[in-house]
Amino acid sequence: MQNAKDSFYMALRTRLETINPQRTVLLRGALRPGVLVEEAEAPFSQLPNDVFVLRWLGLGTDLDLDSTMAAVECDIIYQTCGTQSFGGLDRGRLLSEMDEELTAMLQPLCTPKVNYAAQPPVTMLTQVFWDEPSFTPIVVQRDRITRSAKITVYSYQEQGE
């Protein structure tokens, strides 16, 4: 399932670069698109603001098909405190912008599966695809508002995976 997870992440990251090239994050001295995979980063004491954080949850498989299909749940968490110039009073507007960006990043609901462990990366034979997102209500924590979207990501297992 790692190839599917990597392909999903890279698809979102590439799509965000087109949708909003200003949404970036500086991590370990590198400026990159504002999409992170929680398990691939050093632990956060607090999730970063104004970026999308992918958290991988449960995994399941369907062995009754011609090829094994795996499904993994992804929780995409994002939050904002608004901007200093507006005293944080624009945080609802900024969260709505992130809602729209995430919805756009998820379209279309598929991407080619790529093995990013190979150098150069190798496009595989199948696609990675996912459901429409299920958005949670806004959570308010002092000056920060947070939302998440749950998505199930599917992939057929290929030879050697």
* Of 62 and 10, the one with more pLDDT: 10
Burial group, residue 131, by CB count within 10 angstroms (0-12, 13-18, 19+): middle
pLDDT of the residue at 160: 79
Q: Is the confidence at residue 86, as pLDDT, over 80?
A: no
Q: So where are the chain's domains?
A: 2-156
| β-pair type (122-130, 110-115) | antiparallel
pLDDT of the residue at 11: 98
Q: What is the pTM of this model?
A: 0.93
Residue ranges in the chain assigned as alpha helix (H):
2-19, 91-105
- As a three-state string, the secondary structure of 105-121 is HCCCCEEEEEECCCCCC
Helix, strand, coil shares of the chain, percent, nearest 5, are 25, 40, 35
Q: Is the confidence at residue 54, as pLDDT, over 80?
A: yes
pLDDT in tens, 124-134: 999 999 999 99
Q: Could you tell me which residues come within 8 angstroms of residue 69 by beta carbon, excluding any fewer than 6 positions away? A: 61, 62, 154, 155, 156, 157
Which pLDDT band holds residue 72 (cuts at 50, 70, 90)?
very high
pLDDT of the residue at 66: 78
pLDDT of the residue at 121: 96
What's at 67, amino acid-wise? S
pLDDT of the residue at 55: 97
Query: DSSP character for 131?
Result: P
* Of 76 and 28, the one with more pLDDT: 76
pLDDT in tens, 88-103: 678 889 999 999 999 9
CATH of domain 2-156: 3.30.2000
